[in-house]
């Protein structure tokens, strides 16, 4: 199924749709002639701003919370597809308020999936994170539970709804991510603070994250999780690239790893390697057991042959960008070009 025919004249619901991903996916969907795009979120101010930004009669805004089963179920009426992006994403907040992370990221996903099944939605794509792989913080743990909730529901095969997921690492220039944080530090005349210069992170433009969810929508199999192949860089090199682009003189300061941080991001775990298939620009991670036969879970193993390194797919063993390559990637972002123009005007 190609993307245009999949989207044309269809109704799509985006939970958490006023965030960075929501705006990016709406940009793309509006070019594909959908019948309606429903933006479901908690923030009425962001909904108001987004409505003014697009001024499109194809957009409908629904105020609600994925924690509230009734509100999400009401929003699902006559919906064809769901992109579930609503989440608590900030690691420190989830550490201090773990039950809130569970209610939104785990139970909220359960509510979305159940409401989709009950309303006959054709397909749901849930958006996960590298932090769900070998999770060491509450944000990752709650997202790992979301993935398992999706896989478990896919086994039940209630109704006609198909379920799949996507998993990605650092998406460049999303709200509260490291690149706009560095730029804010430069605007404030402060050194760029990094926790550890050798720490590696995937570098994925926001457009690639939209490609990933559209790929999962059109090609995704029930219960599978999809990963986009991406290059990576050390945080030290990323900071240095920004210093050179903006000709910034305050330098870089290393402050030490914070609680809940990893030295590298993982998108396919060591345990998932044997279930991963190469799909060109993507990896597909199939569920351990596709059906409800418990005997397979306990007594049937997995073929040990695989296409990935034994340690899985992570930001330390993917393609590593050097500083010049990072600068070229950064300069391809419209946000960086705008910041650079404003920066030069200030000098």
Buried b (16+ CB within 10 A) or exposed e, 45-61: ebbeebeeebeeebbeb
Q: Of 10, 123, 131, 143, which is the active-site residue?
A: 131
**Pairing between strand 81-84 and 123-129?**
parallel
The Cα–Cα gap between 280 and 299 comes to 32
Dihedral over alpha carbons 132, 233, 259, 186 (to 10 degrees): -130
Beta partners for 232? 202, 320
In contact, 162 and 194? CB cutoff 8 Å:
no
The Cα–Cα gap between 303 and 291 comes to 18
Residue 259 CB neighbours (<10 A): 9
For every residue of 207-254, DSSP letters joined together read HHHHHHHHHHHHHPPTT-EEEE---EEEHHHHHHHHHHHTT--S-EEE
**Under DSSP, is residue 5 helix (H, G, I), strand (E, B) or coil?**
helix
In contact, 226 and 215? CB cutoff 8 Å:
yes
Our CA angle for 58, 61, 66, nearest 5°, is 130
In contact, 106 and 39? CB cutoff 8 Å:
no
Let me know if 53 is a catalytic residue.
Answer: no
Longest dimension (CA), the chain: 68
What positions carry a catalytic annotation? Answer: 131
């Amino acid at each position: 199924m190609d993307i245009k025919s999949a989207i044309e004249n269809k109704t799509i619901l985006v939970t958490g749709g006023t965030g960075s991903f929501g705006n990016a996916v709406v940009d793309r969907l509006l070019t594909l002639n959908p019948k309606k795009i429903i933006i479901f979120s908690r923030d009425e101010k962001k909904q108001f701003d987004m409505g003014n930004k697009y001024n499109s009669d194809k957009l409908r805004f629904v105020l609600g919370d994925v924690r509230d089963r009734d509100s999400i179920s009401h929003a699902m009426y006559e919906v064809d597809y769901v992109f579930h992006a609503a989440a608590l994403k900030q690691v420190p907040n989830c550490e201090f308020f773990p039950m809130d992370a569970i209610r939104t990221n785990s139970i909220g996903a359960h509510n979305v999936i159940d409401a989709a099944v009950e309303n006959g939605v054709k397909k749901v794509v849930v958006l996960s994170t590298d932090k769900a792989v070998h999770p060491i913080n509450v944000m990752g743990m709650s997202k790992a539970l979301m993935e398992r909730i999706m896989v478990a529901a896919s086994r039940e095969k209630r109704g006609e709804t198909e379920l799949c997921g996507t998993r990605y690492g650092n998406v460049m220039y999303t709200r509260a991510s490291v690149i706009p944080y560095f730029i804010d530090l430069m605007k404030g005349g402060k050194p760029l603070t990094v926790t550890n210069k050798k720490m590696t992170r995937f570098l994925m433009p926001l457009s690639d994250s939209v490609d990933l969810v559209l790929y999962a929508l059109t090609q995704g199999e029930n219960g599978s999780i999809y990963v986009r192949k991406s290059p990576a860089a050390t945080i030290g090199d990323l900071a240095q690239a920004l210093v050179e682009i903006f000709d910034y003189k305050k330098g870089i300061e290393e402050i030490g790893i914070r609680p809940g941080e990893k030295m590298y991001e993982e998108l396919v775990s060591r345990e998932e390697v044997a279930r991963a298939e190469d799909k060109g620009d993507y990896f597909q991670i199939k569920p351990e057991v596709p059906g409800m036969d418990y005997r397979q879970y306990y007594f049937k193993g997995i073929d040990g042959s695989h296409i990935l390194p034994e340690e899985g797919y992570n930001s330390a063993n993917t393609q590593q960008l050097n500083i010049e390559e990072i600068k070229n990637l950064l300069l391809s972002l419209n946000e960086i070009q705008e910041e650079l123009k404003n920066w030069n005007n200030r000098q």
